[in-house]
Amino acid sequence: MKKNEKSLTQSYYESHHIDGKRLRQSFLESERGNLFSNWIGIDKRILDLGGRDGTLTKYFIDNNNVIIGDIDENALAYAEKTYCIETKIINLNESLPFPDNSFDVVVMAEVLEHLPYPLITLSEIKRVLKTNGEFIGNVPLAYHLKDRLQILRGRKLLISGDPTHLQFLSYEDVYELLSVFFDIKEIDILKGGKKSKFFPKLFARNIAFRCISLSSYDKNRK
């Protein structure tokens, strides 16, 4: 493929997120931005995967060294111009273009559900994280009570009407997936109402996660 020729994945992504007028928009922006900023702190080297135009990234730029990695060239150009931030074109279906132990924090918000091979991507995130580095993000959930009722009515799962969702993950699925490579330190329910605090598996519709990357030795000791 020629250098300036777009992949089918990139073209499809851009047609949905740009023509769909989703540039400079971020789900629960202030809630997620403030939460992630508090979790991250300062003086960190951070990789924001799928950070697009920096709308969420801007909350943790100050006093940190941040790189946004995304496949959307237009969004990255906006982030560079607006926030003076380093960016890199990255296809999450391939190996991450960074050495081992490169980052203190990797952020991946509203991205996990779009990945065709999430275990491969998560293994790459673990590789580029330092030991005891943090993996932070959030993901929409499927199979909560509302979805189950939709299925009983004969409707398909389609989270937020987004056709680019490839993974339909329950609360248990997310926990199991993250636990393969990380020690989960905190789960915060972003959407689901009051009942979700007591019955997250039934009512939580979007959760934020904070994980620690452990060495193989530490992981085997658990």
Tens digits of residue pLDDT in 58-70: 999 999 999 999 9
Please report which helix (H) or strand (E) contains residue 17, including its range: helix 8-17
Q: Decide: 83 and 57 in contact? Cβ < 8 Å.
A: yes
SS3 at position 210: strand
Q: What would the mean pLDDT of 139-164 be, rounded to a whole number?
A: 66
User: Which positions ≥6 away from 93 have C-beta within 8 Å?
Assistant: 9, 115, 116, 117, 120, 121
Q: Residue 159: is its pLDDT beyond 60?
A: no
At 222, the pLDDT band (50, 70, 90 cuts) reads: low
Architecture of domain 8-221: 3-Layer(aba) Sandwich (3.40)
131 versus 12: the higher-pLDDT residue is 131
DSSP code, position 165: -
Q: Where are the domains of the chain?
A: 8-221
Position 132, amino acid = N
pLDDT of residue 1: 43
Q: Decide: 75 and 53 in contact? Cβ < 8 Å.
A: yes
Q: Decide: 160 and 141 in contact? Cβ < 8 Å.
A: no
What is the rounded distance in angstroms from the CA atom of residue 26 to the CA atom of residue 39?
A: 19
